[in-house]
């Protein structure tokens, strides 16, 4: 059938260890959701629909980190069924808050939370999707930004690369015209080493950035740590925690936190 | 990637299998075993990979708890921020009142609106009208879905206005906020809430007009109760069977049990067993605290002053949405900016309890803090784990009463019965696999 109407691309949303907030961002696109659905078939999105369409899928959005033996297998099946796979959010790209286990004994964690540890199956480390399979693109953030998600889907539908600037939070803060919270108010801020995309929300509310979009490109983290400890009264043990939040499995943050561990 | 729903029939044994329940937050599984005309066993299995929040909170500073615990749930992060703040403030002997307290209630209004409207139209209503999802529903009911999206958006805008973003707001801290809004900023939002009000009224009428099965189990309702307010942040924990305690006595009356088929702990009342938290409980125990408009809308939609039909939780959510909009308007109209954005919170050793009303029901937090401000112990009891046992009992009773239904119809109704609870599985724990087995 040479003139058959092209079918709509199929979108699938997959969940691993996460809070569901990043996939919820798609449902939170209240003004755009119905328009997006005219151009794409929601083929697998359990949080939104009971209906399922078999793969392969044109666009897979993967939320969450890998924390169980079963999930470490499942991500390979999803990769095989997906033409273009995007990991979304800090769990999928930086291990998530649950990667705090990576620095401690997970079996001890199990015994703290559960009365019957033998019922619980879990891996020693929480790891990003890219540690397991090839990832075509990553959307950062805890949670991801809605404008960035829409740009990603839009660029995919129009067969062009996503136009998402690779600048840090500092650059976005300047663009918003904020006074620097670190220079003017002496508040510790991860803006200089954190990838932008949030539009510098925290400094706009007069608090320092806490790095939820993960490390930016080639960050000079050691210089920032020195500044925070010498001028802002952040002591070494605090520095460990500063880099161990939502992206602690991302290499630059992990290494810097380990450097300050006594 | 095989189809997740399949039906297989054998001569002596029928089995319906749904591997993944849709339109709930998180993932779980369900097994129903039927032999002849009797339900043998019902298990709501939850396999959400454990994330160990309570373990890694130890050794973090108390100031970090609101941001960290928000990550338990992307749908109700404000609830986690509120319960953690209240618990820690109690441990530190700090009271947050006046306009800062009012702003917390206002933020919570935003979360209730967006969370309830998400559930009413996008997760629950498609079941009543026979659609797989809201996007398909929108083809036949475009105006309904468009208005729903607008209402949800207004809730999210309110959270963003106060919190900086709708998911994992960044402006909440122990003691108050990082930045408090000007009077003018909040006043400018009033027209949006006034736009929302008639849509919320229509939502109550829409929900009240849906078809409901005749199903009223015997529940023990549990919610907060406050002398002057419909409950959000503060109050005593009360029940329809006489519990009336301060939040600090939670574990004297409630317990958590670890069962093999779930990574979520089951909540139980010591002595009696299962209980129910969430909209039905809140409404039935606090009807007198609703605004006259919300009370009237509830009556017009066919609700009595208490409601024991879990399928009607969709109506109760719509009433609460209407109430939350009115409450938000009231708070903004009397708002005066406080000079300080937060109350000072010097560290001291202590234990504190916090219990607030998440959209899905009471959320209890307990923290033990050392003299330097580090968390020594944390206990978190989310609403869905408290309801888990009750969901199983609902299914048992519902299947028993409707055993004559075809497998397909029974399966969908059971899914709907689970969605009545707006379960938030990430909160409690992953896979809702559903399996009905029949043995003749």
Q: What are phi and psi of A118, to 5 degrees?
A: -65, -15
Which residue intervals of A2-63 are DSSP H helices? 21-27, 33-39
Residues A244, A250: Cα–Cα separation, whole Å: 10
Residue A84 sits at the chain B interface (C-beta within 8 Å): no
What homologous superfamily is domain A10-157 in, according to CATH? NADH:ubiquinone oxidoreductase-like, 20kDa subunit (3.40.50.700)
Instruction: Please report, rounded to a whole number, the percentage of residues in chain A having pLDDT higher than 70.
Output: 96
Selection from A9, A205, A43 nearest residue B177 by Cα = A205
Handedness of CA B169, B182, B184, A184 (dihedral sign): negative
Q: What is the phi/psi pair of residue B394, to 5°?
A: -60, -45
State residue A128's pLDDT score: 97
Strand partners, B28: B46
- B136 in A contact zone (CB under 8 Å): yes
Question: What is the domain count for chain B?
Answer: 1
φ/ψ of A86, rounded to 5, equals -120, 125
Position A20 confidence tier, pLDDT thresholds 50, 70, 90:
very high
Report residue A94's pLDDT band, with 50, 70 and 90 as the boundaries.
very high
B412 neighbors B5 (Cβ within 8 angstroms): no
pLDDT at B416 over 50: yes
What pLDDT, in 10s, does the model give residues B47-65? Answer: 777 788 888 899 999 999 9
- pLDDT of res. A193: 98
Helix (H) or strand (E) holding B123: none
Pairwise CB contact (< 8 Å): A50 & B165: no
For tokens 């958590």, the residue is B256
Q: Using a pLDDT cut of 70, give the percent of chain B over it.
A: 90
- Residue B222, pLDDT > 60, answer yes
Please name which of B235, B167, B84 lies closest in space to residue B426, comparing C-alpha atoms: B167
User: Is the pLDDT score of B414 beyond 60?
Assistant: yes
A83 inside 8 A of chain B by CB: no
Residue A65, pLDDT > 50, answer yes
Residue B10 has pLDDT above 50, yes or no: no
Mean pLDDT of B128-152: 95
* Most B CBs within 10 Å, among A26, A47, A106, A172, to test the B interface: A47
> Mind listing the pLDDT tens digit for each residue in A225-235?
999 999 999 99
Q: Is the pLDDT of residue B7 over 50?
A: no
Query: Would you state the pLDDT for residue A107?
Result: 79
pLDDT tens, B80-95? 999 999 999 999 999 9
User: What is the tens place of the pLDDT at every residue in B286-341?
Assistant: 999 999 999 999 999 999 999 999 999 999 999 999 999 999 999 999 999 988 99
Contact between A156 and A11 (Cβ < 8 Å)? no
CB-based contact, A37 to chain B, within 8 Å: yes
Residue numbers of B between 190 and 209 with CB closer than 8 Å to A: none
Domain ranges for chain A: 10-157, 169-259
What is the predicted pLDDT for the residue at B434? Answer: 42
Instruction: Report pLDDT digits (tens) over B244-256.
Output: 999 999 999 998 8
What are the tens digits of pLDDT across the range B70-124?
999 999 999 999 999 999 999 999 999 999 999 999 999 999 999 999 999 999 9
Query: From the CB of residue B13, how many other CB atoms can be counted at a distance below 10 Å?
Result: 13
Of B1, B167, B179, the CB nearest to A21: B167
Alpha carbons B238 and B277: distance in angstroms, whole number: 11
- With cut-offs at 50, 70 and 90, classify the pLDDT of residue B32: confident
Q: Do B133 and A31 touch (CB under 8 A)?
A: no
> Residue B342: phi, psi to the nearest 5?
-155, 165
Residues of B with Cβ-Cβ distance to A241 under 8 angstroms: 60-61, 64
* Domain containing residue B92: 53-218+264-305+315-385
Residue A111 is predicted with a pLDDT of 76
Read off the pLDDT of each residue in A74-103 and give the average, rounded to a whole number: 96
Alpha carbon distance A46, B116 (integer Å): 18
Which of residues B12 and B21 earns the better pLDDT score? B21
Q: In this complex, is the C-beta atom of B118 within 8 Å of any C-beta atom belonging to chain A?
A: yes
How confident is residue B168, by pLDDT bands cut at 50, 70 and 90? Answer: very high
Q: Residue B185 is part of a domain; what is its CATH number?
A: 1.10.645.10
Buried b (16+ CB within 10 A) or exposed e, B194-208: eebbebbbbbbebbb
Question: Residue with structure tokens 């089951």?
Answer: B266
Check CB contact under 8 Å for A33 and B135: yes
User: What confidence category does residue B406 fall into, taking pLDDT thresholds of 50, 70 and 90?
Assistant: confident
Q: How far apart are alpha carbons A200 and A171 in whole angstroms?
A: 9
pLDDT above 80: residue B185 = yes
Q: How large is the average pLDDT for residues B350-355? A: 98
Dihedral of the alpha carbons of A229, A214, A75, B80, in degrees to the nearest 10:
80
User: Mean pLDDT over residues A215-243, rounded?
Assistant: 94
Collect all residues of chain B within an 8 Å Cβ-Cβ radius of residue A16.
Answer: 49
Portion 135-164 of A in contact with B at CB < 8 A:
142-143
- For A34-61, write each residue's pLDDT tens digit: 999 999 999 999 888 888 899 899 999 9
Structure confidence at residue A236 (pLDDT): 85
Helix (H, G, I), strand (E, B) or coil at B326: helix
Residue A52 CB partners (closer than 8 Å, separation 6+) = A43, A44, B3, B4, B5
Token couple for B220:
């023990």
Contacts across the A-B interface (CB distance below 8 Å): 194
pLDDT at residue A201 greater than cutoff 70: yes
Residue B266's pLDDT band (cuts 50, 70, 90) = confident
Burial of residue A167, with CB atoms counted within 10 A of its CB: 0-12 exposed, 13-18 middle, 19 or more buried: middle
Q: Do B122 and A27 touch (CB under 8 A)?
A: yes
With CA atoms as reference, the chain A residue closest to B153 would be A30
Is B139's Cβ below 8 Å from some Cβ in A?
A: no
Question: What stretches of B191-331 adopt beta strand conformation (E)?
Answer: 222-225, 236-239, 244-245, 254-257, 266-269
Distant-in-sequence, close-in-space partners of B130: CB < 8 Å, separation ≥ 6: none
- Please give the backbone phi and psi of residue B358, each rounded to the nearest 5 degrees, phi first: -65, 160
Tell me, what's the pLDDT at B33? 85
| Greatest Cα-to-Cα distance within chain A, rounded to the nearest angstrom | 71
Q: Which residue has the higher pLDDT, B113 or B271?
A: B113
Q: Does A78 touch chain B (CB under 8 A)?
A: yes
Please check the confidence at residue B126 and state whether its pLDDT lies above 90.
Answer: yes
Q: Which residue has the higher pLDDT, B16 or B299?
A: B299
pLDDT tens figures, B369-387? 999 999 999 999 999 889 9
| Chain A contact set for B173 (CB, 8 A) | 207
Query: A98: helix, coil or strand?
Result: helix
Partner residue opposite A205 with nearest CB, options B133, B170, B258: B170
Q: Does A224 touch chain B (CB under 8 A)?
A: no
- B166, B179, B415: residue with CB nearest A206: B179
Across the interface, do A30 and B149 touch by the CB < 8 Å criterion? yes
The answer to whether B419 and B395 have CB atoms below 8 angstroms apart is no
The mean per-residue pLDDT over the stretch B209-225 comes to 96
B153 part of contact set with chain A, CB < 8 Å: yes
Residues of A whose CB is below 8 A from B370:
none
Q: Which residues contact B152 (CB under 8 A, 6 or more apart)?
A: A28, A30, B113, B114, B117, B118, B121, B122
pLDDT in tens, A154-178: 999 999 999 998 899 999 999 999 9
Determine whether the interchain pair B179/A205 forms a contact, defined as Cβ–Cβ distance below 8 Å. Answer: yes
- The reported pLDDT for the residue numbered A145 is 97
User: B54 CB near a chain A CB, below 8 Å?
Assistant: yes
B195 CB-near residues (< 8 Å, 6+ apart): B150, B154
Q: What is the pTM of this model?
A: 0.93
The answer to whether B52 faces chain A, any CB pair under 8 Å, is yes
Report the distance separating Cα B78 and Cα B73, nearest Å: 9
What is the SS3 assignment for B412?
A: helix
Q: Which residues pair with B368 in a beta bridge?
A: B351, B377
> Is the pLDDT assigned to residue B17 strictly greater than 60?
no
A114 has a pLDDT exceeding 80: no
Is pLDDT above 50 for B38?
A: yes
Q: Which residues does chain A have within 8 Å of residue B20's beta carbon, measured at their own beta carbons? A: 46
Integer Cα distance of B276 and B388 in angstroms = 9
Q: Of B56, B138, B156, which has the smallest distance from its Cβ to A28's Cβ?
A: B156
pLDDT at A4: 58
């Amino acid at each position: 059938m040479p003139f058959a109407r092209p079918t709509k691309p199929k979108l699938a949303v997959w969940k691993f260890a996460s809070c569901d907030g990043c996939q919820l961002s798609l449902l939170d696109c209240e003004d755009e959701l119905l328009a997006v659905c005219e151009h794409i078939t929601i083929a697998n999105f359990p949080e939104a629909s009971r209906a399922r369409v078999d793969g392969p899928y044109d666009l897979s959005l993967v939320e969450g980190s890998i924390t169980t033996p079963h999930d470490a297998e499942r991500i390979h099946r999803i990769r095989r069924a997906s033409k273009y796979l995007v990991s979304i959010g800090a769990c999928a790209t930086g291990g998530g808050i649950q990667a705090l286990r990576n620095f401690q004994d997970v079996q001890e964690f199990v015994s703290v939370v559960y009365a019957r540890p033998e019922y619980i199956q879990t891996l020693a480390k929480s790891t990003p999707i890219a540690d397991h399979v090839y990832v075509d693109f990553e959307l950062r953030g805890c949670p991801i930004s809605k404008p960035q998600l829409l740009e990603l889907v839009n660029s995919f539908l129009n067969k062009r690369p996503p136009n998402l600037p690779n600048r840090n939070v500092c650059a976005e803060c300047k663009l918003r015209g904020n006074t620097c919270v670190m220079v003017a108010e002496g508040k510790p801020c991860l803006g200089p080493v954190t990838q932008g995309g949030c539009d510098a929300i925290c400094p706009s509310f007069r608090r320092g950035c806490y790095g939820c979009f993960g490390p930016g490109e080639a960050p000079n983290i050691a210089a920032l740590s020195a500044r925070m400890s010498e001028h802002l009264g952040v002591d070494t043990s605090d520095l460990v925690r500063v880099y161990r939040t939502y992206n602690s499995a991302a290499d630059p943050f992990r290494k810097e936190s380990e450097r300050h561990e006594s | 990637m095989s189809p997740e729903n399949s039906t297989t029939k054998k001569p002596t044994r029928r089995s319906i299998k749904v591997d993944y329940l849709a339109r709930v937050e998180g993932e779980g599984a369900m097994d129903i075993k039927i032999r002849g005309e009797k339900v043998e066993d019902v298990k709501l299995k939850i396999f959400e990979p454990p994330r160990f929040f309570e373990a890694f909170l130890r050794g973090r500073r108390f100031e970090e708890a609101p941001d960290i615990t928000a990550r338990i749930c992307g749908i109700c992060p404000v609830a986690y921020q509120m319960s953690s703040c209240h618990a820690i403030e109690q441990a530190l002997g700090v009271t947050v009142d006046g306009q800062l307290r009012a702003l917390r209630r206002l933020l919570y209004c935003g979360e209730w609106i967006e969370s309830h409207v998400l559930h009413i139209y996008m997760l629950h209503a498609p079941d009543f009208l026979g659609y797989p999802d809201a996007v398909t529903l929108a083809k036949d009911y475009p105006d309904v879905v468009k208005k729903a999206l607008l209402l949800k958006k207004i809730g999210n805008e309110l959270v963003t206005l106060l919190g900086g973003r709708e998911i994992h707001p960044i402006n909440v801290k122990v003691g108050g906020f990082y930045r408090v809004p000007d009077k003018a900023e909040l006043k400018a939002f009033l027209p949006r809430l006034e736009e929302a009000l008639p849509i919320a009224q229509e939502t109550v009428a829409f929900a009240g007009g849906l078809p409901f099965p005749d199903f009223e189990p015997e529940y023990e309702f549990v919610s907060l109760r406050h002398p002057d307010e419909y409950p959000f942040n503060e109050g005593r924990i009360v029940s329809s069977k006489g519990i009336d305690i301060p939040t600090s006595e939670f574990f004297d009356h409630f317990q958590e049990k670890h069962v093999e088929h779930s990574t979520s702990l089951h909540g139980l009342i010591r002595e009696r067993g299962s209980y129910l938290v969430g909209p039905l409980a809140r409404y039935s125990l606090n009807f007198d605290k609703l605004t006259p408009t919300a009370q009237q809308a509830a009556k017009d939609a066919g609700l009595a002053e208490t409601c024991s039909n879990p399928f009607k939780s969709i109506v109760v959510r719509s009433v609460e949405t209407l109430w939350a909009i009115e409450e938000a308007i009231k708070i903004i109209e009397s708002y005066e900016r406080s000079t300080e954005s937060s109350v000072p919170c010097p560290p001291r050793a202590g234990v504190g309890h916090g219990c607030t009303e998440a959209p899905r029901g009471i959320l209890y937090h307990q923290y033990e803090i050392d003299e330097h401000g580090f968390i020594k112990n944390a206990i978190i009891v989310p609403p869905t784990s408290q309801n888990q046992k009750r969901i199983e009992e609902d299914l048992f009773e519902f299947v028993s009463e409707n055993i004559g239904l075809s497998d397909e119809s029974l399966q969908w109704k059971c899914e709907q019965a689970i969605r009545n609870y707006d379960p938030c599985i990430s909160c409690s724990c992953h896979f809702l696999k559903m399996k009905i087995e029949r043995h003749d």
